[in-house]
Amino acid sequence: MQIFNWSYKDDTAKNNEVWHQNEGKFTLFEVFDHAYDAKTHNIDFLHIKRCQAEGCNISDFYPQFFDYCPSCGAGLLPVVPPSVQSWASPYGNPNGSRNLSALKWNLTTDELNKEKAFPLPKEGGNFTFLVTEGTKTLIAIDRAPRPEMRIFSYSIAMESWILHNESIPNFICPPWAWSAASGPDGFALPTKEGPCWISLSKSEGRFLHDLSIEKYKNCRSVGGATVCRDIALIPIESEEGLTLAWHACNTNTSWRIVSIVNKEAVEIKNGFLGAAIQDGVNNIFWIGERGYLSVHIEKEIPHAKWHRWKEGYEGCPQFMPYRDRHSVLWQLCFNKEEGYCFKQISHEGIYDRKIVDGPHFTIGNKSFCDDKIYEEPWSDESQDYYPEKEYFVQPLVELANGLLYIGVRNVNKILEYIDPKKTFKYSAELFIRKNEGGDVKVKDGFSITSPWDAEAFLFNEGLYLYLGNQNKSWVWPNIL
């Protein structure tokens, strides 16, 4: 039997593959002069094709330059659809919004009944998910309490996880103080040894990381990562106190440091700031208990400032800010005499506050307190959202035709639910509340321990739910 070699190279160096042909069967052999290994390369990055005609093997793959199936002649289709609809971020888009009005749920009974288990990377872990910007690849970051983090990518073609890296220092912190952020051809994440940028080498199907803060040894990250105008930013604490590390994603330069205005007033009680939120006009905020850090990006350079809360007020960094109809951000704070209030935050400072009835979850432009929804957290015109049910509402993501939420039972106080030290399991159900009225049950019979226990994300036209306390995840394919 004769084996043919097919080499694909082009001048732009975008393709460099060698495939072997054994009669009608094609096998990828080499990628950029490295032997192809399904365990370390994600074949999805190569835009391979397959045949979906009846009678043909869907797990036979062909180079992207093939138009027709060598065995049946049908047109070949890309394994990864060119328009993958994806979204994965526990804290919403970079601007904190979990309202994706460009997308719609497909709520037919057929699609809802197609629920199946989605296998997680082997050996278990404590995962958080991310979808890369360019390649729309699903990334799982394992933050289980061990010295190193593990980074996996999911291959749609192989239906399997590929372990890329297990040498990134971990960062053990409360769940609200950690977030990764996707940028051009890579993503940023905080570690206990400082900020880390993971760049994606598409050609080789590999991830490379840059942990370079040579000048700032003994530093640790203290808040979530964000990417704004192709600049990755992560607050860090070094011998000089709180500073901000930033990295221009499109360059090979290492992380740089910005010093902070009002540095003398910085106080990070409990050691952490929250996840990052952007206001859409080049300002970024990290909330702490004693104050907040703001950054304004001007002419591709970040400028950072610390703002102290007024005496007697404490910020609640576990809660993301609420965004009003003018895109102004408001942060939940607590004061012994007044109770809870929202304080208007900006890069210039704090101007206004409004008292509210308790802690609110927000998804950007809506907020939720117990079983009520508010268009504005301080408005009296709230709706009784679940008057007849004993639910506490944890909103997840809203599409054009309905809100995905978890109905949590047997919980009276939001403070008890957000306390990561309490491990009580509440029984819970997953619903979509349709805009035209009525709930569609997506899943029941599971339990939840805190808001950070559940991650919902959209990937490859499907809805995914991950439950950390059970280390399980499910997918509803074709729900978008």
Stretch that binds Zn ion, among 61-69, 112-120, 168-176, 401-409 (CB under 5 A): 61-69
Name residues whose C-beta falls within 8 Å of residue 275's C-beta, 6 or more positions apart in sequence: 91, 176, 177, 178, 179, 223, 224, 286, 320
Helix (H, G, I), strand (E, B) or coil at 88: coil
Q: Which of 53, 100, 266, 440 binds Zn ion (CB under 5 A)?
A: 53
79 binds Zn ion (CB under 5 A): no
56 binds Zn ion (CB under 5 A): yes
76 binds Zn ion (CB under 5 A): no
56 versus 258: smaller Cβ distance to Zn ion: 56
Catalogue the E-assigned strands of 181-290: 181-183, 186-191, 194-201, 206-210, 220-221, 226-228, 231-238, 241-248, 256-258, 260-261, 276-278, 283-287
Stretch that binds Zn ion, among 45-53, 162-170, 198-206, 455-463 (CB under 5 A): 45-53
Burial class (CB in 10 A: 0-12, 13-18, 19+), 380: exposed
Q: Considering CB under 5 A, how many residues would be counted as binding Zn ion? A: 6
Is residue 177 within 8 Å of residue 223, measured between CB atoms?
yes
Name residues whose C-beta falls within 8 Å of residue 218's C-beta, 6 or more positions apart in sequence: 238, 239
77 binds Zn ion (CB under 5 A): no
Q: Which of 3, 35, 72, 265 binds Zn ion (CB under 5 A)?
A: 72
For the bound state, the minimum distance from the C-beta of residue 459 to Zn ion, rounded and expressed in Å, comes to 27
Name residues whose C-beta falls within 8 Å of residue 4's C-beta, 6 or more positions apart in sequence: 20, 21, 22
5 versus 52: smaller Cβ distance to Zn ion: 52
Is residue 172 within 8 Å of residue 145, measured between CB atoms?
yes
69 binds Zn ion (CB under 5 A): yes
Distance CA 188, CA 184 (A): 10
Beta-bridge partner residues of 434:
402
Dihedral of CA atoms 440, 443, 446, 451 in degrees, nearest 10, equals -60
For the bound state, the minimum distance from the C-beta of residue 65 to Zn ion, rounded and expressed in Å, comes to 16
266 binds Zn ion (CB under 5 A): no
58 binds Zn ion (CB under 5 A): no
List phi, psi (to 5°) of 217. Answer: -65, 165
Stretch that binds Zn ion, among 55-63, 92-100, 313-321, 331-339 (CB under 5 A): 55-63
For the bound state, the minimum distance from the C-beta of residue 7 to Zn ion, rounded and expressed in Å, comes to 23
For the bound state, the minimum distance from the C-beta of residue 71 to Zn ion, rounded and expressed in Å, comes to 5
58 versus 400: smaller Cβ distance to Zn ion: 58
Beta-bridge partner residues of 25:
22
Helix runs in 98-238, H state only: 109-112
248 binds Zn ion (CB under 5 A): no
For the bound state, the minimum distance from the C-beta of residue 25 to Zn ion, rounded and expressed in Å, comes to 12
69 versus 465: smaller Cβ distance to Zn ion: 69
For the bound state, the minimum distance from the C-beta of residue 258 to Zn ion, rounded and expressed in Å, comes to 56
The single residue listed with the structure tokens 């060119």 is 82
67 versus 298: smaller Cβ distance to Zn ion: 67
For the bound state, the minimum distance from the C-beta of residue 74 to Zn ion, rounded and expressed in Å, comes to 5
Q: Which of 18, 46, 48, 51 binds Zn ion (CB under 5 A)?
A: 51
Q: Which residues are at the interface with Zn ion (CB under 5 A)? A: 51, 53, 56, 69, 72, 74
